[in-house]
Amino acid sequence: MGSIPFACIGVVVGLFVTGNKFGFMPGVGIVALSGVVVNDAIVLIDHINQLRRNDGMELDEALIQGGMNRFRAVLMTSITTIVGIFPLAIGIGGGSEFWGPLGWSIIFGLLFSTTLILMVVPAFYKLSEWLFCPKFYWHNDNALMRMVRIAMYISYGIGIAAILAAMTYFVLFTG
């Protein structure tokens, strides 16, 4: 679920670039986009959990190996969706005024979220592990772990700022 705000930021950028306004169809695009983005994150997290449970990998090793193993699956899911939606976005077959914003919102949301999903989802996973299983991290606290935590806090801050920027855009520039 942590990847959905990043997809929404991609939608805002896409609507701005293409000159479309936020309305009903881009809203439907966000709903459709959420399904694809959450599916990509589930594929990645499930594989990380399997590596930890079945192969006995440590968290950091499982995050890296899971990202490398599922890179192709996440990328191919996004590419096939983008290729399938592209004719809708450019108006092949007519109705581009109605269907175009839906297509562009899905395309830009996927472009933005796919680039981040392999970085942000593992960071959220590691942060949730740190928050809900603190005994491991408090006993093995070193400079590298503190730097990783600081980087995760910064990424959360950037995500929150981006969500606030998107909400401001919706309020000020859509009508």
pLDDT tens readout for residues 73-110: 888 888 998 999 888 888 887 777 788 888 888 999 89
Please determine, for residue 38, whether its predicted confidence score (pLDDT) is greater than 60. Answer: yes
- CB-count exposure of residue 45 (10 Å: 0-12, 13-18, 19+): middle
What three-state secondary structure class fits 22?
Answer: coil
Q: What is the pTM of this model?
A: 0.69
CA 159 to chain centre: 11
**Any idea which residue has 């990998």 for tokens?**
57
Q: Options 3.10.20.590, 1.20.1640.10, 1.10.4010.10, 1.10.10.10; which CATH number does 4-173 get? A: 1.20.1640.10
- pLDDT tens profile 107-163: 998 988 888 887 778 888 887 777 766 555 444 556 556 666 666 677 777 777 777
Strands (E), 32-164: none
| Residue 55, SS3 per DSSP | coil
* Domain positions in the chain: 4-173
Give the Cα separation of 104 and 32 in Å (integer). Answer: 12
**pLDDT computed for residue 39 by the predictor:** 84
Q: Quick one: pLDDT at residue 34?
A: 84
Instruction: Specify the pLDDT at position 175.
Output: 55
pLDDT digits (tens, 9 = 90+) for 1-37: 667 777 888 888 888 888 888 788 888 888 888 888 8
pLDDT at 138: 45
pLDDT at 122: 83
pLDDT at 144: 59
Give me the pLDDT at residue 174, please: 64
Query: Cα 85 from chain centroid?
Result: 18
**Sequence-ordered list of residues with C-beta below 8 angstroms from that of 7, at least 6 positions apart, any chain:** 30, 33, 34, 37, 109, 110, 112, 113
What are the tokens at 19?
């000159």
